[in-house]
Amino acid sequence: MSNASTTPPFTAETIGIGTELLIGGRSDSNSLFLADELGKLGIAVRFKSVVGDERQDIVTAIHTAVKRSQVIVMTGGLGPTVDDCTREAVAYATGHRLGRRKEALEGMTARLAQWGRTPNTAQLRQAMIPSGATVLKNPVGSAPGFCLTWKKAVIISLPGVPREMEEMMRQEVLPLLRAASDSSGRLPRTPIVRQLFHTFGLAEADVDAKLKGLIPKGVPVDLGLLASPMGVQVSLTTKGSQSAPEQNRDLLQKLANDVRSRLSDWLFAEGHDTMEAVVGRELAKRGLMLAVAESCTGGLIGHRLTEVAGSSAYVDRGAVCYSDRAKTEMLGVPAELIAQQGAVSKEVAAAMACGIRERANVSVGLSVTGIAGPGGGTETKPVGLVYIGLDDGTGQPITREFRFHGDRHVIKQRSSQAALDLLRRWLLDKA
């Protein structure tokens, strides 16, 4: 990084580059990772923006960013295609000419050689780096990044591919930012600490009511709520103040304990943990095997469970029993029961859970049946009506009724989360 004596950067901005981020083809998930990593250095992300693959738009975004932020992290637009113009935009915006850099070319050539390829004419563009910039190695992909100090701001350009961007941030960017801060003679600010809590079964307004008055006035901690089909996420974020860092950490821990107490049974995970991981650990801890029968979720529960490494220790099988005939043939649900109660009913949910457990000869069976929409609903059984069943062989199956709202995708997500939450509560003797 050039100009190492620059004042330590404590506010940041992220710029996601790519037309696909604007037209709905892909979401900008990189900014979330960047905010977390920069926060560990005490660097607060104050702004984030997304621009398309137009050079002048990127130039405008850079000029705006340097007026209000000391660190600008750009992701995307470093590939070999004609629409990848981040290099050109940075060069034009800062007045630093582009030139082919030996270290950039060698790194890209070595990476392509590992894949049995040689760089073509288009890929050679990736070795063009603005003058005065530090080349950032890409340990995963072929496109190098770069870091440039201009107008007292540090401009960092990384690939948009998340895996590449994340490794370059950890291995290349964060050490540079730490070095710049250390060499200035000023101590870095206290890291911005963020604690996450994940709840299910309460509406956002209800979570807000339970946490009312949690943070006293003047305390340097922000409370955040974020609702999604998977529940409501609660966050506690320190403001990175240098004053009394130990006291701030103690205060954050006290507030975290208060959150746990207030949210109680609705709190299912913390940090980056997921419902499926929590359930998996509890099943494995008890030595239990699970089988799942799914109708309206179409295999989503099984998919989520098996996304967790080591899930073969507690997941035996899953069955997608979408039609009435499948419920009867695969699970042994009596046809007359379906005729009398309907496929979407607590009785059928219980029979599905029992059927999959018996056929798999496992500890517990879990089932879901419902109406995901947009059609298929009636006045008595509307779209969003879902029944979850759980059977552990005691002769007393558990069933729960839910009435979810949202489109088909959201109802399936909420149904899978509700099923796993019922299993979690049963495992913890809270069902």
Contact 411, 370 (CB under 8 A): yes
Confidence of residue 240 (pLDDT cuts 50, 70, 90): low
Long-range interactions of 424-428: CB distance < 8 A, separation 24+: 424/268, 424/275, 424/278, 424/279, 424/282, 425/265, 426/364, 426/390, 426/392, 426/398, 427/279, 427/282, 427/283, 427/286, 427/288, 428/282
Q: Which residues pair with 57 in a beta bridge?
A: none
pLDDT tens per residue, range 395-420: 999 999 999 999 999 999 999 999 99
pLDDT at residue 24 is higher than 80: no
Confidence of residue 9 (pLDDT cuts 50, 70, 90): very low
Name the strands in the sheet holding 231-238, side by side, starting at the edge strand that comes first in the sequence.
221-228, 231-238, 194-199, 267-270
pLDDT given for residue 234 in this prediction? 97
User: Tokens 């049974």 sit at which residue?
Assistant: 265
Q: β-strands 221-228, 44-51: how paired?
A: unpaired
pLDDT given for residue 60 in this prediction? 97
C-alpha distances out from residue 234 to 159, 247, 269, 398, Å: 31, 22, 11, 29
The pair of three-digit structure tokens given for residue 5, joined into one six-digit string: 């004596």
pLDDT at residue 265 is higher than 80: yes
pLDDT tens per residue, range 349-380: 999 999 999 999 999 999 999 999 999 999 99
pTM metric for this prediction: 0.80
pLDDT given for residue 2 in this prediction? 43
Distance CA 419, CA 187 (A): 49
User: b or e along 274-293 (b: 16 or more beta carbons within 10 Å of the residue's beta carbon)?
Assistant: bbbbbbbebbeeeebbbbbb
Alpha helices in 211-265 (DSSP H): 245-263
User: b or e along 235-271 (b: 16 or more beta carbons within 10 Å of the residue's beta carbon)?
Assistant: ebbbebeeeebeebeebbeebbeebeebbeebbbbee
pLDDT at residue 381 is higher than 80: yes
pLDDT at residue 186 is higher than 60: no
* Domain segments of the chain as ranges: 11-183, 194-270, 275-427
Is there a common fold for 11-183 and 194-270?
A: no
Alpha helices in 27-85 (DSSP H): 30-39, 55-66
Return the CATH number of 11-183, one of 3.40.50.300, 3.90.226.10, 3.90.1720.10, 3.40.980.10. Answer: 3.40.980.10
pLDDT at residue 393 is higher than 60: yes
C-alpha distances out from residue 66 to 12, 56, 70, 73, 92, Å: 10, 16, 7, 11, 14
Residue 154: closest CA among 217, 62, 223: 62
CATH code for the domain defined by 275-427: 3.90.950.20
Contact 275, 269 (CB under 8 A): yes
pLDDT at residue 113 is higher than 80: yes
Q: Does domain 194-270 have CATH number 3.30.70.2860?
A: yes
Residue 308: closest CA among 269, 283, 273, 280: 280
Between 418 and 431, where is the model more confident? 418
Confidence of residue 244 (pLDDT cuts 50, 70, 90): low
pLDDT given for residue 27 in this prediction? 76
The pair of three-digit structure tokens given for residue 253, joined into one six-digit string: 């821990």
Distance CA 299, CA 306 (A): 11
pLDDT given for residue 182 in this prediction? 66
H/E stretch holding 268 reads: strand 267-270
Q: What is the CA radius of gyration of the chain?
A: 26
The pair of three-digit structure tokens given for residue 319, joined into one six-digit string: 């069955």
pLDDT given for residue 246 in this prediction? 66
